[in-house]
Amino acid sequence: MVAIDLTGKHALVTGVADDVGFGWHIAKALKAAGAKVYLASHPRTVAMVERILKRATSLEGRLLPYGTPGEFLPDAIWPCDVEFDTEEDILPERRLVKGYDGDVSIAGCMKRVKETAGGLDIVIHSVAFSPEIQNGHLDTSRKAYLQAMSISSYSLVALVRAAMPLMEGRHGAVVGLSYLGGERVMPFYGGGMAAAKAALQQDARVAAFFAGQQGHRVNIVSAGPYASRAASSIGAIDAAVQHVAEHSPLKQPITAQDVADTTLFLCSPLSRAITGEVIHVDMGYHAMAV
């Protein structure tokens, strides 16, 4: 039997805010495979995730996949706003927001990884945000467009750079999450997110080249539409899910577990020759023209 065993590996998972999104399912998959899992969640969402990890009503969502016994419990959960590279970068007004005490920058997060784990083998980038997601592309302000790029794309570059010293000698694996709206025109995908996903995919290829000099890999999973919290804020997510289910070669909607399974593969030695790749987990929808 072929098995994925990540025992002894340390994984940092960004973008977990609830037990619905892709980040949560990826974190559970990594845990089920034996990795130590550290969540780097947006400072405003840490308390919510901590509640989900404890409350009885969320028990079903905590169960580990693949028949692995037990519930998901991360090895740590830290606040991290990926808009900020270092503590000095954190905007003074953001300091006034609950959860922003201490160094919640990417550098602060990596410092915690180093103190706790000593090093890092896996980094998951599952973060996206635009303050004007409901505005069409041409109606998006410059400020919102640049913030969408900063949080949704540049953060991958910043995370890879900050993680590299911790991944030294470990053949690290980095996986980011993208959407077909970064390759094709999806009119509802506004707020600068189309450009942000296009940038994310190219950033991953270029990062794969530079990180590859040290044996690390960087890949992207381009997921089909799924009604997460972030996607629901776009507005037309249910229609997008139904459209893809009806028009894909495999006529069904994707699940978060589909995305977690492929991400787990990309973090495992089974994918050791794959880097700079964008794998579509979308029931084949990306291949269609009608």
Q: Which of 38, 100, 154, 189 is catalytic?
A: 189
From candidates 120, 231, 244, 267, binder to ligand NAD by CB under 6 A:
231
Least separation, in Å, of the C-beta of 3 and ligand NAD? 26
Least separation, in Å, of the C-beta of 201 and ligand NAD? 11
Least separation, in Å, of the C-beta of 193 and ligand NAD? 7
From candidates 9, 46, 74, 81, binder to ligand NAD by CB under 6 A:
81
- Cβ-in-10-Å burial (0-12, 13-18, 19+) of 209 comes to exposed
Contact 262, 30 (CB under 8 A): no
Strand partners, 195: none
CA dihedral 221, 226, 228, 234 (to 10 degrees): 100
φ/ψ (deg, to 5) at 195: -65, -35
**Distance of CA 284 to CAs 69, 132, 277, 279, Å?**
32, 29, 16, 10
- Comparing CB distances to ligand NAD, the nearer of 8 and 92 is 92
CA dihedral 180, 191, 137, 232 (to 10 degrees): 60
Contact 147, 199 (CB under 8 A): no
> Which two three-digit tokens encode residue 287?
């291949």
- Determine whether 66 is an active site residue: no
Note whether 72 binds ligand NAD by CB under 6 A: no
Q: Which of 38, 145, 179, 285 is catalytic?
A: 179
From candidates 105, 126, 219, 275, binder to ligand NAD by CB under 6 A:
126
SS3 241: helix
- Comparing CB distances to ligand NAD, the nearer of 111 and 170 is 111
| Range 6-65, binding ligand NAD (CB under 6 A) | 15-17, 21-23, 42, 45
Note whether 153 binds ligand NAD by CB under 6 A: no
SS3 223: strand
Tell me the site size for ligand NAD, rule CB under 6 A.
27
- Determine whether 100 is an active site residue: no
From candidates 184, 229, 247, 251, binder to ligand NAD by CB under 6 A:
229
List residues near ligand NAD by CB under 6 A: 15-17, 21-23, 42, 45, 80-83, 126-129, 151, 177-179, 223, 225-226, 228-231
Q: Which residues are catalytically annotated? A: 179, 189
